Amino acid sequence: MSAVAEEPIPAGMAAFLLPSLSTTSQLQEAERLNIHEARIWAMHQRTLQRTDLFSVEFQRELHRRMFRRVWRGAGDFRKTASTQGWEPDRIEEGVRLFADDADAWFKFSTYPVHECAVRLHHRLVSVRPWGHGNGRHARLMADVAVAAHAEAPLTWGMGAPGGRTPREIYIEAIASADNGDIAALLAFARS
C-alpha cells in the first residue's frame, strides 16, 4: 500500500507559522492540539463564569489561546485587507458592536440561547477579524456562550446528512445567513 503524498504548506502561509511545519497535515494536527487546549480552558467553570465573555479582550484571549502555538500574531486583529470581512481599521469596532449585541440578546432573552450563539457566530464570521481561524474562533465563541448559559452543546454538523460534506453545508448556511435567513445555519449548528 502506497503512502498518500503530503501536501506542502504554501510558501506565503509558512511565513506566519511559529513551529517548523512542512505539510498541511502537520499544520492541521498542530492547530487541532492547540484548539483542544483552548477549548479545555474556555469550557472550565471558572472561565464560563467570567463577566466579560463577550468583550473584545476575551475574544482576543480566546483566539490567542487557540492558535498561539501555531500562528504568529494569534489574538491580534487582521491588519491587511481581505476580499471578505471588514476593513482592518474597523475590525475592533465590528467585534465590539456584535459582541455587545450578543450580550444584550442573552441578557434580555431576545432569542433562544442557541439562536443567540449562532447569530453571534455569523456576525463574527462576517467581520473576519483574524488572519487565520475565523470560523473556528466564532464556533468556539458560540460554544462558550451556550455552555455559560447551561444549554445543550451545539454540534456544528456532526449529524449532518450524507451526500455533501459538513463544510459544504456550513458554507451554504453562512451564505443564507448573509442574506438574512439564519434558519439553515441554526439547523446546521444543531445537527
- pLDDT (tens place) for every residue of the chain, 191 residues total: 445 558 999 888 888 898 888 899 999 999 999 999 999 999 999 999 999 999 999 999 999 999 999 999 999 999 999 999 999 999 999 999 999 999 999 999 999 999 999 999 999 999 999 999 999 999 999 999 999 999 999 999 998 777 889 999 999 999 999 999 999 999 999 99
C-alpha cell at 69: 502555538
The verdict on residue 183 lying in a domain is no
Q: Report yes or no: 136 and 93 within 8 Å, Cβ to Cβ.
A: no
The verdict on residue 34 lying in a domain is yes
Q: Can you state the angle between helices 24-42 and 56-67, rounded to 10 degrees?
A: 140
Dist. CA 191–CA 179, nearest whole Å: 21
The verdict on residue 4 lying in a domain is no
The CATH number covering residue 94 comes to 1.10.3290.10
Domain containing 61: what range?
A: 11-80+90-154
The verdict on residue 66 lying in a domain is yes
What is the pTM (predicted TM-score) of this model?
Answer: 0.93
The verdict on residue 171 lying in a domain is no
The verdict on residue 182 lying in a domain is no
The verdict on residue 85 lying in a domain is no
The verdict on residue 164 lying in a domain is no
The total number of structural domains in the chain stands at 1
